[in-house]
Amino acid sequence: MANLREETPEGGVRGGVLRRLFAYARPHWKLGIFCLALVLLVTALELLRPILVGRAIDDYIEGYGRRYAYVDRAEAPIVYDGLYLSKDYDPARAETFALMLYDGTDYYLVRDLTGEQASVLEELSPDELAECAAPTPGGLRVPTGEGDYFAEALDRAALDSLRSTDRAGLGRIALMYALVLLLSFVANLLRQWFLEKIGQDVIFSIRQEVFEHLHSLSARFFDTNPVGRLVTRVTNDVESLHMMYTHVLIALFSNSVLILGYAAVMLSIDLRLALLCFAFLPLIFALTWWFRRLARRVYRVVRTKLSDLNSFLSENISGMKLIQVFAREPEKDREFRGRTEDLYRSQMRELYVMSIFRPGIFFVANLALALVVWRSGLSVLDAGLSLGTMYVFTNYIRSFFEPIQELAEQFSTLQNALASGEKIFSVLDEENPIREPRRPKRLRQIRGRIEFRHVWFAYDGEDYVLKDISFVIKPGQRVAFVGATGAGKSSILNLIGRYYEIQKGQILLDGVDIRELSTETLRRAVGQVQQDVFLFTGDIQSNIRLLDESITDEQVRAAAVAVNADRFIAHLPEGYREPVMERGSTLSAGQRQLLSFARTLAYDPPILVMDEATANIDTETEQLIQSALETLMRGRTTILVAHRLSTVQHADRIIVLHKGRIRESGTHQQLLERNGIYKKLYELQQ
């Protein structure tokens, strides 16, 4: 089984990865559609806000230049000096008008105008009015090619009366603007909340699936893949997907809609100004293409360096005691510094890319804005464009380039997330060579008869560790395997629990091939006590029970008493509730081993496997264990592996392995009389 690849292929991300990622979000499709609707609403509100401000400028702030029509009293919102006026009128019925003029300092009113006369006066800018008008008592005389007009000066009270509808209009616009802001806030709040919920639900499902799948993989997978790299898969890579689900996909949609909306509105306002703005798009696309291409490479290197650093940390923190024993702290510190410096340089390259791209887009956007302000300003001076329209257009210009910039960054984030998805799926696609039977056989009662029939086994290829191994262990029998290091003893124990798959032969339990049994049934029948005891963070009781609630507190205590573990547990401050730190670091090796015996006894397996179970135990603790072994092994098929032959002398049968083959078999006394490999091993230890 090959180890997981760290690098993402240069050819890009497979489309199948995106489809598989979408499959996790499929159960939330209704909520996703609701979020998309909220995005459309927010986008529409974003487009509406500048329009409201532009309308406020044109219709009300600069609205003094809009003509007043003479209307009936009942229809008049404005009453001034005996005149009934309205700015909102039916053009077909309006015949006489009044017009307000502004010379840059004061306001004036011209009465009793026809539509043609009002049109002539409307063309006068404040500067032109100041140049041509002549002061008269109470106002100005305004000469035009159509004749002279008298414009009466307006005081503060008159101005307030005539512009009362403008003030009311500004109030309505302000209220509408506040309402738009409120709706945007509520829609964004709901969108963000539901997106986060979808993202968290999806990430929870993926993380749970990855962790459960890791539990289902064979021991060989963990032999060839560093723990730190697998931790990166479950944490960092899954978190990268969180950004994609909660931000990137919706942001891609909303920014695309915003760009199209801004473009459509700009084209509808002024075609020439819009085309002037769009002329900068090729430069934007070139910058974006450069950024995506370079950022993809940089992100890939950063992910690889981060994964390597996690693997290094996992390995060295686990082996901290060994580092301290050999005083290798300075060397490890230099190695860690080298790795962090590599990661730092990679992240700085990422920063350089971002520091060029963002200001580059900002510069192009402001260059476009400057040209548009110049061109639209000339149009305002030429009376070809209103001030409010200029505001709307320049506001859209400023906003038009922001989603383009975000799109480029989101594509890179999406690329990053999809690359993480590839790595996650490389774990999920990892197949366990140990296949579960479709219809597993059931054993009513496991007696514990174990048989190996011509078993051949290799970890890699055809480099066989076990060669044509055959033996039978009867129910309740105690059998020991001995031999030099690498002879294949531990491999036999791993094969009994089917942690690895054999290449040839058969392994039978009570006459049934173990490949026809479910792994759960098989492994619950085999209790293992290993040399290196692993304890989980928790307490004493949970480490004996291993979260199996079917094992009662009384059974936990009975198991601990039976293996003499209760002697040290009773002296702990909190007894069975005493906290256990990671790997049981606060307990001695002997105490940890006693807990492993209690754990095995609590599960009451019919088969007991002991792999160097007393190798690291002091003499006093070993005496305690030996006194409990008889209780532990009584009525169980027991298989022992030990280098110290003194611990296996009383076995019913001893099998001697040498270079993957069975060389001798018999009792302790029989093997000594043969004067073979066993006797040499015994004499060396004596």
- How confident is the model over 421-462, as pLDDT tens digits? 888 888 888 888 888 888 888 888 888 899 999 999 998 877
Q: How many CA atoms lie within 13 A of 580 on its CB side?
A: 23
164 lies in some domain = no
How many whole angstroms separate alpha carbon 599 and alpha carbon 544?
Answer: 4
C-alpha–C-alpha distance, residues 107 and 444, integer Å: 104
Confidence of residue 380 (pLDDT cuts 50, 70, 90): low
Q: Residue 349 falls within a domain, yes or no?
A: yes
Owning domain of residue 597: 450-685
**Residue 12 has what pLDDT?**
41
138-147, 163-172, 184-193, 511-520: which range is least confident on average? 138-147
Say if residue 566 is in the same domain as residue 671: yes
Whether residues 312 and 455 share a domain: the answer is: no
Helix axes 329-381, 281-318, angle to 10 degrees: 160
**Residue 438 located in a structural domain:** no
- Beta strand residue intervals within 114-164, DSSP E: 134-136, 139-144, 147-153
- What is the helix, strand, coil percentage profile of the chain, to 5? 60, 15, 25
The CATH number of residue 26's host domain is: 1.20.1560.10
Closest to 613 in 3D by CA, of 603, 600, 254: 600
Confirm whether 407 is domain-assigned.
yes
Q: Which CATH number goes with the domain that contains 664?
A: 3.40.50.300
Distinct helix (H) and strand (E) counts, the chain: 24, 20
Question: Is the pLDDT higher at 484 or at 663?
Answer: 663
Question: In which residue are the tokens 């480490």 written?
Answer: 543
CA dist 364 to 223, 272, 452, Å? Answer: 54, 18, 76
Tell me the three-class secondary structure of 544-581, residue by residue: HHCCCCCCCHHHHHHHHHHCCCHHHHCCCCCHHHCEEC
* Same domain assignment for residues 96 and 47: no
pLDDT at 7 over 50: no
Position 379 scores a pLDDT of 74
Residues 341 and 459 in one domain: no
Residues 588 and 468 grouped into a single domain: yes
For residue 80, list its beta bridge partners: 83
Same domain for 421 and 487: no
Q: In which band, very low, low, confident or very high, does the pLDDT at 8 lie, cut at 50, 70 and 90?
A: very low
Whether the full predicted model's pTM is greater than 0.75, yes or no, is no
pLDDT at 11: 39
Strand pairing partners for 108?
101, 153
Cβ atoms < 10 Å from Cβ of 237: 26
Please determine, for residue 161, whether its predicted confidence score (pLDDT) is greater than 70. Answer: yes
Asked if residue 418 and residue 459 are part of one domain, the reply reads no
The count of C-alpha atoms lying within 13 angstroms of the C-alpha of 307, restricted to the half-sphere facing its C-beta, is: 23
Is the model's pLDDT at 685 over the cut of 80? no
Question: What mean pLDDT do residues 6-26 have?
Answer: 64
Beta-carbon contacts of residue 546 (< 8 Å; ≥ 6 apart): 536, 599
Considering the domain boundaries, does residue 358 fall inside one? yes
φ and ψ at residue 555, rounded to 5 degrees: -65, -35
Rounded CA-CA distance 274/67 in Å is 31
Would 662 be classed as within a structural domain?
A: yes
Model pLDDT, residue 546: 85
The one-character DSSP state at 446 is: -
H/E stretch holding 406? helix 387-428
Q: Domain total for the chain? A: 3
d(CA 233, CA 238): 7
